[in-house]
Every structure is written in C-alpha cells, then in structure tokens.
Structure 1
Amino acid sequence: MATAATGSVAHVANASGATMPSGAELIARARAMVPVLRDRESAAIAARQVPAQTIRDFIDAGFFKVLQPKRYGGYEMSPAVYCEIARTLAEGCMSSAWVYGVVAVHNWQLALFDPQAAEDVWGDDGEVLISSSYMPMGKVTKAEGGYRISGRWAFSSGSEHCDWVLLGANMVAEEGGAPEPFNFLIPRSDYQIIDTWHTMGLCATGSNDIVVDDAFVPAHRVMREKDMFNIDVPGKHANPGALYRIPFAQIFNRTVSTTSLGSLRRALETFVQATREKRATYTGARLAADTTIQEAVAEVKVILNDMELRLKSDLAELDARAEANDWPIERRAELGHHTTSMVNNCVKAIDLLMLFSGGKAIYLGNQIQRAFLDIHCARAHVANNPYPYARNVGAMAFGYENDCMDL
C-alpha cells in the first residue's frame, strides 16, 4: 500500500486539535479486531444486525473518521486506508465490514453537500452516522425553501445504527429537462425503519427498508447526482482537499466491492487448512494430493492476488488524479469497470472453493458456504454488475460517447 496512505507518523492533529493515528495504525487496529469479529459473527447473523458493540468498537478505533472532514474531527485520509480497513475487517465478518464500508463512505459524501448539511448532522456530535438507499424510489414535490418527499426504499445497510439517511429520488432540475437522480438527507425523526431483512447472505447487515411520509427537506440537504459526476459540488469551497475532488462512484462503488476480497481471502485460508489433512471418504486418499483441487487453489490465488494488486494500483491512481484534478472520462470508465468486475471475479473464485468443499459445506455455519452466500449477495448489488460498465468501456474504445453517469 502506498506510503502516503499508511505512513507510520501518528502525531498529526486534526482541526479539533485531537491527535490523529497514522493509516498504518488504523489498519493494525482493524487486523487486531478480526478475531473479535469472528467470535461475534454467528450471533450477528442470528440477530440479522451487526452488534451495537461492534459499531462502538469501530467508532472508538477511529474507523468512521477516515474519510470525514478534519473540521468535524475527521482524518481526511486516502481512500486506500478506508478500503484496506474494510478489506481487513471482512476477514473477520463480511457483514460487519460491509456495514462499516457503506456507513463510513457517507462521512465522505456529506462533505460534498452544502456545508450547512454537515452542520445539521455533526454540529453537536461528530460521531453521528448516516445510512443510505440511493434507489430513486421517492416522490418529490417542490415546497418553500426545499422539497417534500415520500416513499419506501430497500437495502439501507446498518440503518439501525444511524441517525440520518441519504435517500434517492428522481426529479426535474431547476433548469428543466427530464427527471434525474438527486440525493436527500433526512433525520431519523422523519423516517421509519421496517424490518424486512431475511436473506441468504450478508445476513447481519440489517439492510432494512426506510419509509418516509411527506417529510420536508430543506434545499441545503439536497444534492444533484450530476454535480457529483461533474465534481462540481456545493461543498467544494468548504472542503477543498483532494479527497473531495474524486468522483462519487469511484469511491462508493469500491465500498460494495472491497469487502468480497477479505471474505475470499479468509475462505481460501480456511479451505487450504481444512483440506490439508482431509481424506476421501471411500478411498482414504489425501484430497490435498488431488491435482484438480491443487489447480483450483492456484486459480483462486491468482484471482485474489490480481484483484488485490489492481485495487492497490487503482486507489493510488485515484489519489494522484485527485491531486492533479485530472479525470479523463475514458480512464474513469476503465477504473469504474475495474471495481464493478471485482465481485464477479470473487464469485468465480468462491464457486471453485465451494465446489471442492464436499458434503459438509452444505451445513449451516460452514465458513466456505458463508463466504459463498455473502459474496453472491454482494454480486447482486447494482454497482457490482460489470456488464454495463464493460460494454461502455468497449464502446468508447470504438469511438462511442460515454453513456454512464456512475463513473
């Protein structure tokens, strides 16, 4: 990982005067938390929620501050630190890591809003957390000083632990034209959480439904997604750092892809350890001597190593491009395809491990099966569908215009 992201100096102060840990120290804290998350994983799955104590541990470790503006006590660190924390936590519990990643990224996005929005959320408490569901399910009407919104949204991961939510809705912009996506920031007093999360994987993410009934949202808590695509956001003057000059999708889409790498890494280690001395039931032959299984392990290793190296390289490139404010659309499309294809490759790898894990892998609680289900559920996220992104990259190579706003 880049030195700038994980340097060992730990005596830098943020705007509040508090001493900031280094990226390396934060990643070490995540590594130390892996066995704790493994101990809590089964209970979290049964509860269909990450434990409140785990969220408290993440807060105390400073994980949610990584992308948060310094003016509210955050660290404003490289996305490389954030992604490495999420990847590492997923070696303990992918659901817990998923909730961390999704919730923590909102501390970055809030810096893109009108500065008053951050003051509304963090003015009294910089530890307040935000969940989201960007699905454009809201019905919006114009009102004096803002908008009124109603609707029901699914998949709000970690919502039980948050006091605000970011919700999506389509509406016509001030200058007219076709309806387009906007994000609306809403406090807990204006929405309900409906318990719907009964799933085959990512069971502990508590990604329940959000219901809003005619809530008023002031204009400063509304942001146009097109502005995030163009890197021309209301918060650019209050938060001028390079971290906040990265296109939204280049950060958010890695939020929902990176944790699959950690889960796959754990599954591979579990598989190798379990298979090392395992013998075939009928012949007694060592399974570790089976060349087909050996080739499967080698294939998973190369997939995993390639993706980890690509992630490291891409994150370093995001940092460099943000500093230079250099975002050619062709490269944005390629970088977008890199991250959206990541979970698809993890699916191929975990399928190989599941295929050779034998009959015992079908029992609940089996770690290979758990990773298999979690990674397949991650693949179901719209941002982890690589095909539209691949088609766009290929079309642009032939001279067609970009047609994707999620880059």
Structure 2
Amino acid sequence: MYLKNHPSGLLKQEWVRNLRLYAHVAEEKKELRYNQLKLFHTENWFKALVPKRYGGGEWPLTELAAFEEAVGWADGSAGWVFTLCSGAGWFAGFMDEAFTRQLIENEKFCMAGSGEVGGTAELCDDGSYLVSGLWKYATGAPYATYFTANCLILKDGIPVTSASGERLIKPFCFLKEEVEVVNSWNTLGLLASASHSFEVHEKNIPAVRTFEINAVNTPDGALYNYPFLQFAEITLAATISGICIHFMEECLELWEEKKDRSGQKLSQNFMLKNIFKKQMTNLENARENFRITTRMSWDVCKAGKPLSQNQLSQASYNAQYLVATCRKVVNELYPYTGLTGANANSSLNQIWRDFQTASQHALFTKL
C-alpha cells in the first residue's frame, strides 16, 4: 500500500528479513532469538539513548520516534524491546558518571525496568539502601544486564517524606546478579518481548546507584531535558503505529488471495476498498499530526527553552490520538480477515495479538 513516510525506508532489507524470519520461533520460545539480539548489539540499538559522552547514540527524539515505528513495523516484539530497553538506557543521562561508564562497558549492555513503585528501600546509616521488592513488566528481562525500578524510601521502617509532605520515591539501578527474573509474561501478544517480572531480596545498594530524573543535573543534550511523560507517550505511540501499519499490509496480502461469496477477490470488493481507504486516510492524518507536534516540541527543547503547557498538551494529545486511531483501524479491518485472522499460527493473527497487547499499555487507557 502507498503510505507517506513509510517506515520501511529507515531499515535495511536484511534487518527486516532478520527480524521477521525469526518472529514465529521467537514467539514460540517467548524470547527474541540470538540473531535478532545480535542485530540489536551490532547496531548499538540498546545504546540509542545513552549519552554520547559514554559512547551512546543520544538520538534526537524525532529520529527515535520514526525508527521505533519502523522496528515495530518489522516485528512487534522486536519493536517493543527496542522502545522499552533503549528507553531504559535514557536513564543513563541521570546516573552517577563513574557507575554509568562501568555499565556501558558491558558488550551485552541492555537495560530493562519497571515504572511502578514495587519495592521499598530502607536507608542505612552509611547512606546505602536495603532494597526488596517485586516489579512487573520489565521488557527484555532475560537478556538485560541491568534493571531500573522505583522504591519507596524508608527510615527505620517509616516512609520518608519530602519537603512538601509527599512520600519519597527514588529510582534505583540493579546489577543482573542482584535480580531474580520471575517468568510471569503470559499475555495475548508480544510474547517474544519477554516482559517478565523481577524481584530483589534484601540487597544492599550503594547510594551512587540511585538517580533523579532532573535535567538541571545532567551535562548532556536536549534529549535529557524533554519531559518524561510526553517522551514515553511519543515513543510507545510510534511503536504501536508501526505494528498497525504491518497489520494493514498483511490484510492486503490476505485479500489478494481470499474471495467473497460471489467468488470475487476481497481486494476487488468495492465496499472493502472504501473501508480500507478511509482507515488509511485516518491513519495518515493521525501520523502527520503526531510527527508535526513531536517535531515542534523537540525543536523547542533543542533550542534550550522550556516547553509550555500548551505544547506539552499537544504532544500528549497527538500521541494519544495516534494510538486511538490505530485501534480504530485494526478493529475495523480485523472482521474482514476471517479464520485466517483467528488462526494463532498465522502471521496476521500474531500481528493482531501484538497490537492488542501493545495498545493496552497503561499510558493509553482513558481512566
């Protein structure tokens, strides 16, 4: 299908072949395969958002979002791993410098993490923390070398409060050997993203492995000045858009083979062609608005200026609207895929399941 700024233009053909060739076995094994992960490491995708001063890519937000859509289009689970694990690498811009240089040296560098406050950290007399907890949905957990997680800070078992009276919460970074991965990822789709839970049992963590997402304290570029909420919405929305595009293309391939009751190919069915055209137009418009507001907000941030509330609202709105549009597109087209769409062994069904799972992310619920 013809689509402006098609995501395929950002990926080498061999990358797409690699990611799709192993997609089914990766889903069966519930982990990305060796050759897929080798591509991530060879191309330094896990370091895409690590500051340049550490040898990372420090990709501009606009380039990042476009590439996330492209990898999501190639394969949903691979796209989810790229977005969430490279996103965790973004935290390197706020961590202790000596510790960060040490972790980046790992040739298998990959960060996973969870945004929930799933643990507690008891402040010890020497300034370190005794941490315990359980955190869900750490994408890429089996191949992560480091994990990030939020903890409620305690002193003598009592929650520590900030100057404003709120309970103090801090993010921590754990080494792989300090973490126990809990195989809990049993969702409808994105199975190969291996977004398992992880536990930490009474580990003493030095203070240098806590950090604060505060652009004032980082010497790095504009990427680390961009507000975290809108950053997360944009990156996830881009990935979901890529999965949606892949689904639409698989529908077209199916309709070239499948016939309606009259014996006519579905691809020639007038009603279905109009439905598809309408949904593609809706997606095009949502993608364009998303790209425009993302670029505008990034340009403001890149210029060293704070984003206004209106600019933040527009960035959020168009990310949310893109995901809502993708939902409508997929849900409108799926009923015309028949039993092929319902067959768990078909590529079309896998893409549909990946989409349904990705679009359930908490950032895109209306509650």
Q: Same fold (TM over 0.5)?
A: yes
Matched residue of 1:89: which SS? helix
Q: After TM superposition, give the deviation of residue 218 of structure 1 in Å.
A: 2.4
For residues 217 and 337 of structure 1, the distance between their equivalents in structure 2, rounded to whole angstroms, comes to 39
Q: After TM superposition, give the deviation of residue 277 of structure 1 in Å.
A: 4.8
Which residue in 1 is equivalent to 2:157?
Answer: none
Deviations 1:242-285 (A, max 9, x none): 222111222223332221211111111121222135322x4323
Which residue in 1 is equivalent to 2:52?
Answer: 70
Matches within 5 A, 1:34-183: 34-122=16-104, 124-125=105-106, 128-143=109-124, 144-171=126-153, 172-175=160-163, 177-183=165-171
Q: After TM superposition, give the deviation of residue 145 of structure 1 in Å.
A: 1.7
Q: Matched residues, percent identical?
A: 19
Pick closer, same or farther for the CA change 1:115–1:82 going to 2, 3 Å: same
Q: After TM superposition, give the deviation of residue 127 of structure 1 in Å.
A: 5.3
Matches within 5 A, 1:4-403: 27-29=10-12, 31-122=13-104, 124-125=105-106, 128-143=109-124, 144-171=126-153, 172-175=160-163, 177-224=165-212, 227-228=213-214, 231-232=215-216, 234=217, 236-237=218-219, 239=220, 241-280=221-260, 282-324=261-303, 325-385=305-365, 387=366
Matched residue of 2:240: which SS? helix
Matched residue of 1:154: which SS? strand
Which residue in 2 is equivalent to 1:405?
Answer: none
Kept after mapping to 2: 8 A contact 1:106/1:131: yes
For residues 249 and 90 of structure 2, the distance between their equivalents in structure 1, rounded to whole angstroms, comes to 33
Q: After TM superposition, give the deviation of residue 174 of structure 1 in Å.
A: 4.8
Which residue in 2 is equivalent to 1:17?
Answer: none
Which residue in 1 is equivalent to 2:3?
Answer: none
Kept after mapping to 2: 8 A contact 1:159/1:193: yes
For residues 37 and 232 of structure 2, the distance between their equivalents in structure 1, rounded to whole angstroms, comes to 20
Matched residue of 2:211: which SS? strand
For residues 150 and 193 of structure 1, the distance between their equivalents in structure 2, rounded to whole angstroms, comes to 14
For residues 51 and 108 of structure 2, the distance between their equivalents in structure 1, rounded to whole angstroms, comes to 12
Measured on the aligned residues, the alpha-carbon RMSD in Å equals 2.4
For residues 318 and 149 of structure 1, the distance between their equivalents in structure 2, rounded to whole angstroms, comes to 37
For residues 274 and 187 of structure 1, the distance between their equivalents in structure 2, rounded to whole angstroms, comes to 46
Matched residue type, 2:350:
R
For residues 169 and 358 of structure 2, the distance between their equivalents in structure 1, rounded to whole angstroms, comes to 23
Provide the TM-score with structure 1 as the length reference: 0.80
Greater relative contact order (CA < 8 Å, ≥ 6 in sequence):
2
For residues 275 and 348 of structure 2, the distance between their equivalents in structure 1, rounded to whole angstroms, comes to 14
Kept after mapping to 2: 8 A contact 1:96/1:205: yes
- Higher deviation after alignment, 166-175 or 323-332: 166-175
Q: After TM superposition, give the deviation of residue 120 of structure 1 in Å.
A: 4.0
Kept after mapping to 1: 8 A contact 2:32/2:193: yes
Matched residue of 2:49: which SS? coil
Kept after mapping to 2: 8 A contact 1:202/1:374: yes
For residues 312 and 299 of structure 2, the distance between their equivalents in structure 1, rounded to whole angstroms, comes to 13
Deviations 1:150-183 (A, max 9, x none): 1111111001111110112234455361215431
5+ residue gaps, structure 1: 1-23, 389-407
Q: After TM superposition, give the deviation of residue 365 of structure 1 in Å.
A: 2.4
Query: Following TM superposition, where does structure 1 have runs of at least 4 consecutive aligned residues deviating by more than 4 angstroms?
Result: none
Deviations 1:165-223 (A, max 9, x none): 01122344553612154311111121100111222111111011101011222223223
5+ residue gaps, structure 2: 1-6, 154-159
Kept after mapping to 1: 8 A contact 2:340/2:348: no
Matched residue of 1:197: which SS? coil
Matched residue of 2:32: which SS? coil
Matched residue of 2:315: which SS? helix
Deviations 1:55-91 (A, max 9, x none): 2211212323332211211232212222222211222
Pick closer, same or farther for the CA change 1:264–1:254 going to 2, 3 Å: same
Pick closer, same or farther for the CA change 1:202–1:28 going to 2, 3 Å: closer
Provide the TM-score with structure 2 as the length reference: 0.88
Matched residue type, 2:179:
Y
For residues 63 and 281 of structure 2, the distance between their equivalents in structure 1, rounded to whole angstroms, comes to 23
Matched residue of 1:211: which SS? strand
For residues 128 and 384 of structure 1, the distance between their equivalents in structure 2, rounded to whole angstroms, comes to 29
For residues 286 and 125 of structure 1, the distance between their equivalents in structure 2, rounded to whole angstroms, comes to 53
Kept after mapping to 2: 8 A contact 1:44/1:204: yes
Q: After TM superposition, give the deviation of residue 111 of structure 1 in Å.
A: 0.6
Matched residue type, 1:138:
G
For residues 256 and 302 of structure 1, the distance between their equivalents in structure 2, rounded to whole angstroms, comes to 21
Q: After TM superposition, give the deviation of residue 126 of structure 1 in Å.
A: 6.4
